[in-house]
Amino acid sequence: MRPKAELHLHIEGTLEPELVVELARRNRIHLPTFDVEAIRARYSFANLQSFLDVYYENMAVLRTEADFHDLAAAYLRRAAGQGVRHAEIFFDPQAHLSRGVPLNVVFDGLSAALKESELSAELILCFLRDRGAEEAEQVLRAALPYREHFIGVGLDSAEVGYPPSLFRKVFEIAAGEGLHRVAHAGEEGGPDYVWEALDILRVERVDHGIRAMEDPQLVARLRAERIPLTVCPLSNVRLRAVPSLRDHILPAMLDEGLLVTVNSDDPAYFGGYVDDNYEALRRELGMTDDQLDRIARNSFEASFVQARL
């Protein structure tokens, strides 16, 4: 299997229905159903928000350090089986703090799993853009005592209506701490969100970024500066950002000379882990081995940390 890095992966989005049920039993949490297939049957989404509603609801089962450890350990095992050699992993501390789960529980559980893994793996702390800039700054300050546990900050959750420019200050603070910076932009939002992420947040990578292709000047900038884009094809289909994989703009992005990578985003919800995304591109879009090898090489070039290969 082709070696690759995974750079756009929400650890909470790897929570498989089987683990939802196991953790609910372990933590004595009531679920509307304990039937794995019934849980999975809900995973049909009209847009990003309809997915986020289920994603946040399922997280209620994550309570203890052992839960976060087991979540990350399961992902790292599956990723290794899909050829992943290095992963830069998003997590959403506000989604846990707001449920009364303290930061040390999240950091200790995730970090222990990363340390045990055969993969090289790092954490990127994401701000939930729909909870606003003030709370983002509070969570960053609260996380700074754990500075050695994460390499960067990101911006995720509901995109439209929450432009990157709202988060200028917290990204400046992060830059001052020597943290890497990424942001989801151009998933549902337009090219203006990608411009703001670059110009105002000074991001070093753009997550998704597929709508950047609507603006030739932006494409020229991304190409000239070799700014990586972490594209998630199966996610885009499941969240209806594109009508079908056959309509995906990824081959055109590659033809434009952009530094495109392929990633799984929230694999427990979108029907596949990272190599399943590569395989779907081959099957549905006829992408060649040469093209897929190039994408895999891009993933290492786009990594913040060089993998221990």
> Which residue's Cβ has the minimum distance to ligand ADE?
156
Contact 158, 180 (CB under 8 A): no
Sheet strand arrangement including 205-208: 4-6, 84-91, 120-128, 152-156, 180-185, 205-208, 229-231, 260-262
- 184: number of Cβ within 10 Å: 28
Q: Out of Zn ion, ligand ADE, none, which partner does residue 108 contact, by CB within 5 to 8 A per kind?
A: none
Q: What minimum distance in Å lies between the beta carbon of 155 and ligand ADE?
A: 9
Assess 265 for contact with Zn ion (CB under 5 A): yes
Active site residue 187: yes
User: Does residue 108 touch Zn ion according to CB under 5 A?
Assistant: no
Closest CB 50 distance from ligand ADE, rounded Å: 12
CB of 267 or CB of 291, closer to ligand ADE: 267
- Any idea how long the chain is? 309
**Residue 153: strand pairing partners:** 125, 181
Buried b (16+ CB within 10 A) or exposed e, 148-165: ebbbbbbbbbbbeebbbe
For residue 235, the minimal CB distance to ligand ADE (Å) is 5
Residue 305, exposed/middle/buried by CB under 10 A (0-12, 13-18, 19+)? Answer: middle
Q: Which residues bind ligand ADE (CB under 6 A)?
A: 10, 13, 48, 55, 156-157, 184, 187, 235, 265-266
Spatial contact of 213 and 254, defined as CB atoms under 8 Å apart: no
Burial category of 58 from C-beta neighbours within 10 Å (exposed 0-12, middle 13-18, buried 19 and up): buried
- Cβ atoms 52, 128 nearer than 8 A: no
* Closest distance of CB 286 from Zn ion, Å: 26
Q: Which residue of the chain is nearest Zn ion when measured via CB?
A: 265
User: Any contact of residue 159 with Zn ion (CB under 5 A)?
Assistant: no
Based on CB atoms, which residue is closest to ligand ADE, 13 or 109?
A: 13
Closest CB to ligand ADE among residues 82, 235: 235
Residue among 136 and 291 whose Cβ is closer to ligand ADE: 136
CB atoms within 10 A of CB 134: 11
DSSP conformation class of 16: -
Q: Which is nearer to Zn ion, 108 or 265 (CB)?
A: 265
- Binding status of residue 12 toward Zn ion by CB under 5 A: no
Query: Shortest distance, CB of residue 64 to ligand ADE, whole angstroms?
Result: 22
Catalytic residue among 12, 88, 187, 196: 187
Contact predicate 222/213, CB 8 Å: no
Given ligand ADE, Zn ion, none, residue 188, with its beta carbon under 5 to 8 Å by kind, binds none
Q: Of 263 and 303, which has the nearer Cβ to ligand ADE? A: 263
Among 118-126, 221-229, 247-255, 261-269, the segment contacting Zn ion (CB under 5 A): 261-269
User: Is residue 88 within the footprint of Zn ion (CB under 5 A)?
Assistant: no
Q: Cα(307)–Cα(299) distance, rounded to whole angstroms?
A: 11
Minimum distance between the CB of residue 98 and ligand ADE, rounded to whole angstroms?
15
- Residues near Zn ion (CB under 5 A): 265
By annotation, the residues acting in catalysis are: 187
